[in-house]
Chain A
């Protein structure tokens, strides 16, 4: 690509123009809405325009060099890598499900916020700079070289594939959910359209293409998330800055909850049966944990999400793309700052949505209003028709009580603009943002899987003599195959978004957290220990999840399917330490290699070796 040399130096300008262009597009859509263009057409244009941009970036970044395909040529500046990581990281679960989860589940759910941000402290201090110095292409590449031997590498590949594949089906589901809503097409077709968009971004240019589309996707998703919240906050007279204004709103919501009987007025069995999987609001906005068990559950979820963050390969591999060790370290800070922009807004979004629905003084308040009036609202009808919302007059008094209003948590973000009565253009924007979030994460995950299979399994283990061209062709074929498998599973609609995501984190931390961390921080860790740690941790975690989820086993100490890393991680740590100490210490060459990665200066370790 001709622009290339100039491209890296002009990133600020390129993405500045892109951001202005996108805002211009949003304004254009708003004008079109005013002159009477239908919401369906606007939805199509939002989805079509953004996917076209991502695909264009993907095509412009095509490459046939392995350094560019695997690690984006190692020239991504820290700030932009931070943005790309933020998009890579924030998935359909963060964008679509999180605010809804906080809305329905209140305080305990905010453990996800703490876990998904605090994990980056571990990434910055324990792993990212050292893996960058190591100079690997994939995470199994580090495990395989640090511990030596194909068995260790294979174990890492297996954990990576299971964790990332669980995760990617959830993202393709998210893509399908948004596309089906915005384009009014059936879900199982929308899934395949979403996949086509995802592959366009990643297939031709690998990590290089994914990096530059992820930056573009971050810009779309953050605008889409923040704009409606700012709008609602200002419209509700609570203040200009929603993240600060929300605290007064929380106090007001608590008054309203007492008035409406939240936490005391439970849905009747009959109503819940009618509503199926949809949920009524049953807990207060700020019921902090008081019992020992509730505190324990909060903390264990935090631990699992943090350790998962520090072991998910699609996140770690983003830090292989920076120009230096120092940039990798700095880039983690930028990543968290960009993630933080969305995460510290999520509780505000949940709070203002709740306020909109509960406050009888607001035009948008529906609780306590006559059922006939509520049922005639356009957004209520729309979401009822697709089965995501249900109103059931249990006591037959003709008024809507809190225990008669059921919804699916995932729709809070998507429906909020409609609930708050914002123009449709905002709904289109939010749909584009949700799509960007799910697509960018799916891109990163598919690439992580396909790269591990092509680089570690095919090139390192099956055919070490393969030339670059063959390797990259294999990588692309695998990418399409894994994507198709993911879309196939997603189209079956087996898993909800959030459950699958939490599983992925626990798979990753059970199998990889300690082998990665001790690989850097404990020279004595050897191959036998790492293999035992990976197999034992991953195996025990997997077994526990299966028993709790499908085998009818009573969870131990309240550790449910979201927290099975609490079983896998200790097993992994103990096995790794005990087996390492029982067997010979690693050879001198390996120990020297560990010394090398602890020092930023000098060539990357893998280059020096070859």
Chain B
């Protein structure tokens, strides 16, 4: 029983670290990038990078981020033997 619960604690610690990494990336693409939207747009006539990040770029990052998070979390679950059968 104690072995199991200590393994569960380790599992939760790793899950929590993964959460912080995920949220840091999320924070970057949600807020930091758009704070510099005007700078990203650059000179008139150059590629509108600020527009791209707000209209599409962040969304692409979120899709990739979720699938990455899911695969990492699944791996953590499996390694600690708490995944479903």
A interface with B by C-beta (< 8 Å):
102, 107, 110-111, 113-114, 117-118, 120-122, 124-126, 129, 243, 247, 250-251, 254, 285-286, 288-290, 295, 298-299, 302, 306, 324-326, 329-330, 332-333, 336-337, 340, 343-344, 346-347, 595, 598-601
Contact = CB atoms under 8 A, between A and B. Distances in A.
Nearest to B5: A595
A111 B51 CA distance: 11
Contacts of B15: 598
- Residues of B contacting A: mostly: helix
17 contacts: A102-B55, A107-B54, A111-B54, A114-B54, A114-B59, A118-B26, A125-B22, A129-B73, A247-B48, A286-B48, A290-B38, A325-B84, A326-B84, A337-B63, A599-B11, A600-B77, A601-B83
Interface of B: 8, 11-12, 15, 19, 22-23, 26, 29-31, 34-35, 37-38, 40-41, 44-45, 47-48, 50-52, 54-56, 58-60, 62-63, 65-67, 69-70, 73-74, 77, 81-85
A254 to B, nearest CB: 7
Contacts of A111: 34, 54
Contacts of B85: 601
Contacts, number: 137
A346 B31 CA distance: 21
A479 to B, nearest CB: 32
A333 B70 contact: yes
B26 to A, nearest CB: 5
A326 B66 contact: no
Given A118-B26, A298-B34, A302-B34, A600 B83 contact: yes
Nearest to A290: B38
A121 B44 CA distance: 34
B59 A340 contact: yes
Contacts of B26: 118, 121-122, 125
Given A125-B23, A347-B55, A251 B45 contact: yes
B75 to A, nearest CB: 11
- Residues of A contacting B: mostly: helix
Contacts of B63: 117, 333, 336-337, 340
Contact of B22 (A121, A298, A302, A600): A121
Contact of B59 (A113, A129, A251, A595): A113
A326 B56 contact: no
A601 B11 CA distance: 12
B66 A289 contact: no
A595 B8 contact: yes
A250 B48 contact: yes
Contacts of B12: 598
Contacts of B59: 113-114, 117, 340, 343-344
B2 to A, nearest CB: 14
A558 to B, nearest CB: 16
B74 to A, nearest CB: 6
Counting from the closest, the 9 A-B pairs by CB-CB distance are A288-B37, A347-B55, A110-B54, A288-B38, A333-B66, A288-B50, A286-B51, A344-B56, A121-B26
Contacts of A107: 37, 50-51, 54
A251 B48 contact: yes
A599 to B, nearest CB: 5
